[in-house]
Structure 1
Amino acid sequence: MTVSRILLLALAAAPLGACSNTLDRLSNVGDTPKLTAIKDPTAQPGYKPVSLPMPDPQVAAYAPNSLWRSGARAFFKDQRAARVGDILTVKVTIGDKAEIDNETKRSRSTTETDSVGGVPGYYLQKVIPTETSASNLVATTAKNENAGSGSVNRSEKLETNVAAVVTQVLPNGNLVVEGRQEIRVNFEIRELIVAGIIRPEDIAADNTIESTKIAEARIAYGGRGQITDVQQPRYGNQVLDIILPF
């Protein structure tokens, strides 16, 4: 199949894939973007329970004739999230900065000259062209140079809080949490998603946890709306960027 035929098929398939999205956007012309309805995260398409290697179960230790429960931070009840459906606050703090500057240079030069003298050179001089000398019969020169440089200068900072829901309790007691926050400003929706695995011991007394203590953390911060649409290339450009080999 030629490249031109592949291009035509891709251009024909792109509008079909985006047909439903386009019709939905056309039906909402002049209206503000609609917020997503609150739904059970475990019922969303593509949701999969977390499965990780678990340690051997430990026998629970009980203290007879004691009103104090092991691990509790309140005398009567622990207010921290511990069961499926409980809510806790995730403090998202991202402050990454990286600066890398590399430069390499390589150079190599070689010169070689071969000659033939004596009796072989006398007879060889009779058969080689007049402009060539037997004392300088073979001469080679090679030169190789390579220079490369690269630099990275990146700085990212994000500080915000988002409430998350406990969606699963693992056999070892760790909690799987997921939180989603949507904020609409005019015709643009800013979206924050946080998900991962936490330890109950890392939850503070005020029922908060820092994002640096979340294992397998998945944090996404983006948006959708008119401003985001303008910043994104059109479907045709995206298809060409994928299939064009140059």
Structure 2
Amino acid sequence: MTGSIWASSAYRMALGTDRKAARVGDLLTIVLVERTIAEKAASQTGQRNAQRTIDLTGLPQTDAFERALSGGSESSFEGRGATQQSNRLSGEFTVTVTDVLANGTLRVAGDRRLWLTRGEEQVQLTGLVRPEDVGPDNRVLSTRVADAVIRYAGTGEVAAQARQGWFARFFDRITPY
């Protein structure tokens, strides 16, 4: 009824309840607090020596004959590698509840695109949220999203400058050292 204090929508709330996201189509704000640091180092050393000598007693022994029947080989290898990476993603954006599982867990998905003068930035997130992790203001820390897939990508001049050129990438693939 128009003008009534009681809403006639299908989304009625009982007096004294909060409006936490719990249904398909509800909105949640994800607070991005991602930080990863990874380091890896590897080192390997190898060395091999071999010496062969054949002794044929009773045959005439000359220097040329002994050199022909003896031999040796030697090889050595040393390799080192190291990598270090650090990432940080902060901010917040709103996602939609796309499914409610049988146990009440919320499947969420969202996409935010920001067009800037020199390019585009995009953040996508999918994952599962437990209802008890949803705050009274419908906010959830990204560290509380299970099976989270967070994709952050950018295009434009700045992103292009941060990427190695195609010619250098080509030679990185075919060069054995």
Question: Which residue does the alignment assign to 2:34?
Answer: 94
Contact 1:106/1:145 (8 A) holds in 2:
yes
Residue of 184, 190, 206 corresponding to 2:115 = 184
Report the aligned-residue RMSD.
3.0
Query: Are residues 1:79 and 2:19 paired?
Result: yes
Question: Which residue does the alignment assign to 1:115?
Answer: 55
User: Between Structure 1 and Structure 2, which shows a larger proportion of helix residues?
Assistant: 1
What percent identity do the matched residue pairs reach?
A: 28
Q: Find the residue that maps to 2:64 and give its secondary structure.
A: coil
Question: Which residue does the alignment assign to 2:153?
Answer: 222
Q: Distance in 2 between matches of 1:132 and 1:175?
A: 84
Q: 1:206 deviation in Å?
A: 2.4
Q: Distance in 2 between matches of 1:111 and 1:141?
A: 4
Q: Find the residue that maps to 2:132 and give its secondary structure.
A: helix
What's the TM-score, normalizing by structure 2?
Answer: 0.75
Question: Which residue does the alignment assign to 2:84?
Answer: 153
Matches within 5 A, 1:168-207: 168-207=99-138
Contact 1:114/1:137 (8 A) holds in 2:
no
Contact 1:116/1:137 (8 A) holds in 2:
no
Q: 1:188 to 1:149 in 2, by over 3 A?
A: same
Contact 1:115/1:136 (8 A) holds in 2:
no
Q: 1:225 deviation in Å?
A: 4.2
Q: 1:112 to 1:196 in 2, by over 3 A?
A: same
Q: 1:99 deviation in Å?
A: 1.9
Q: 1:184 deviation in Å?
A: 2.7
Q: 1:137 to 1:190 in 2, by over 3 A?
A: closer
What's the TM-score, normalizing by structure 1?
Answer: 0.56
Q: Distance in 2 between matches of 1:205 and 1:94?
A: 22
Q: Which runs of 5+ in 1 are unaligned?
A: 1-73
Q: 1:229 deviation in Å?
A: 6.1
Q: 1:100 to 1:198 in 2, by over 3 A?
A: same
* 2:148 maps to amino acid: A
User: Between Structure 1 and Structure 2, which shows a larger proportion of strand residues?
Assistant: 2
Q: 1:80 to 1:216 in 2, by over 3 A?
A: same
